[in-house]
Chain A
Amino acid sequence: MSNNEAFVSIRGMSFSRGDRLIYNNVDLDIPRGKVTAVMGPSGTGKTTLLRLIGGQLLPDSGTIKVDGHNVPALKRGPLFELRKQKMGMLFQSGALFTDLSVFENVAFPLRVHTDLPNSMVRDLVLMKLEAVGLRGARDLMPAELSGGMARRVALARTIALDPEMILYDEPFTGLDPISMGVTVKLIKSLNDALGLTSILVTHDVEEACSIADYVCILSDGGVIGFDTPDNLIKHGSDQVKQFMTGEADGPVPFHFPAADLAEDMLRGNSGA
């Protein structure tokens, strides 16, 4: 894949949290205009990856370029400008502002970043809400919404400023099958209709594979597979196959690194 096609391009990126190395010298390209699903066992830092791309966390070393801008090197002002113009992020909880109604939540980025007249803001908000099927819920407060609806409102808010890329943090977690189906369909159709680049962090292999153009599998501080879903299932390494098929133990260890069990038990009360 050449660099021009990549919307996000990560080179030699390392990141550690405390003593734990989360990413070790990672190279990764996220293609423009496609849906890329980032998967991997819990604790491999999938959400961390989104926060690194969004500039909320700084890597220890390496570059993270979003549409040519090296995010970790940006100062506060340009970073906020880049987020405003190019990025949107959908949080797992939806992260709606609890003191604002559904309508005002979606209108928030428009009101803050533009000087559009009220009538125009209203039209835009209703269009975005229509896109997620919740135009009728505009007067509700976030506390009155179900989890799936809250996430759709958040999605409408995320697309309010027409970003070029949307980062989805666990968009399918905790949804009932219908909401899940709706969300899957929405992500795909928004991506295609608006020509977005979507990065999807998720555990749901089946749903992700149904809409993702590419799948990226993370483990042990690096990328262990990056390809189309079909290719990964057919030709991936053992570790990748283990993940895609959901085996409990295999190359990806079931146990968190620890001392030998027998030794640990015999140590008795001398340690924690």
Chain B
Amino acid sequence: MVLNQLQNLGKAGLERLQSLGRAGTFLLGSVPWGGPGSAGFRDLIKQIYSIGVRSLSIILVAGFFVGMVLGLQGYTILSDFGSEAALGTMVSLTLLRELGPVMTALLFAGRAGSALTAEIGLMKATEQLSAMEMMGVDPLKRVITPRIWGGFIAMPILALLFSLVGIWGGAYVGIQMLGVDEGAYWGNMQASVEFYDDVIKGLIKSLVFGLVVTWIAVFQGYDSVPTSEGISKATTQTVVVASLSVLGLDFVLTAIMLGGV
């Protein structure tokens, strides 16, 4: 019994390792452009549209609500110390440093990541990827490369828009509803947000998240068992693995960037 369990544990471990190895070579093979039947600029634009532009509505709406909540909570906490004027600073830093990149990546994993996995899994199940191979077209270069780059490019833009709309949301609640001084809100924000430390570091985070989430999504689809059950499992797996990776990586990146730990 114990021996059996040990064996199963070993088997599961080996399978994980193998899958990790496959994912690694998959990424190395699909990031560079060029190769048999490689995709063109138009394919990239198409992917940025379907991955990025079509995620806009969920990102913008979510960003506005998150900003409004930040405005409400921030005002309540800050007014205890009589420093409501710092509301703009608090909302903008929270969004630019953390919530913008992380929330966008989580929403992106649910909206675009799952769609990518299902699309590629279905292409595999209906032999479209095999058909490409037999036409002398490398599906890695044709299908995967533009999607990985599409996600990589779209994510930081989405995260910036999320933060932007969030800051407006915070301003709306703070200034219009709670009566924070408009000059203080924007002025303090302008004085305390650093371009490199806050904006660029947030952007770096979302670039990493963009790559990781898209990578996980396309790999799960490409590596899925080509049946309806396999694709549904792969789609779930994408959302779970991508979300956890984003949260874990966020801690690591924040620790590195703050120079602490």
Contact = CB atoms under 8 A, between A and B. Distances in A.
A95 B131 contact: yes
A201 to B, nearest CB: 14
Interface stretch (B74-82, B87-95, B132-140, B187-195): B132-140
Interface in A67-98: 76-77, 80-85, 87-89, 91-93, 95-98
A113 interface: yes
A210 B135 CA distance: 28
Interface residues of B, number: 15
A77 B134 contact: no
A82 B136 CA distance: 8
Interface residues of A, number: 28
A83 B142 CA distance: 16
A89 B131 CA distance: 7
Contacts of A109: 135-137
B128 A80 contact: no
B37 A80 contact: yes
Contact of A83 (B35, B127, B136): B136
B260 to A, nearest CB: 45
B133 A93 contact: no
B134 A54 contact: yes
B133 A84 contact: no
Interface in A26-65: 54, 56
B134 A56 contact: yes
Interface string B129-164: 011011111100010000000000000000000000
Contacts of B228: none
A244 to B, nearest CB: 29
B128 A81 contact: no
Contacts of A167: 134
Interface string B210-225: 0000000000000000
A58 to B, nearest CB: 14
Contact of B36 (A81, A88, A89): A81
Given A81-B36, A84-B36, A113-B37, A76 B127 contact: no
B127 A80 contact: no
Contacts of A108: 135
Contacts of B128: 95-98
B126 interface: yes
Considering residues A95, A98, A154, A161, which has the most beta carbons from chain B within 10 angstroms of its beta carbon? A95
Interface in A126-145: none
A84 B130 contact: no
Nearest to A83: B136
Contacts of A96: 128
A83 B135 contact: yes
A266 interface: no
B138 A84 contact: no
Contacts of B133: 54, 56, 80, 83
A85 B135 CA distance: 9
Given A97-B128, A113-B37, A88 B137 contact: no
Contacts of B138: 76, 80
A35 B126 CA distance: 26
Contact of B127 (A54, A84, A93, A161): A93
Nearest to B129: A95
A124 to B, nearest CB: 15
Contacts of A77: 35-36
Contacts of B131: 89, 91, 95, 97, 154
A95 B36 contact: no
A225 B128 CA distance: 33
A178 interface: no
Contacts of B134: 54, 56, 83, 87-89, 167
A262 interface: no
B36 A93 contact: no
A261 interface: no
Given A54-B133, A91-B131, 15 more contacts: A56-B130, A80-B36, A81-B36, A89-B130, A91-B127, A91-B130, A92-B127, A108-B135, A109-B137, A112-B142, A113-B135, A113-B137, A154-B131, A157-B135, A167-B134
28 contacts: A77-B36, A80-B36, A80-B133, A80-B137, A80-B138, A82-B136, A83-B135, A84-B135, A87-B134, A88-B134, A89-B131, A89-B134, A91-B127, A92-B127, A93-B126, A95-B126, A95-B130, A95-B131, A96-B128, A98-B126, A112-B37, A112-B135, A112-B142, A113-B37, A113-B136, A154-B131, A157-B135, A167-B134
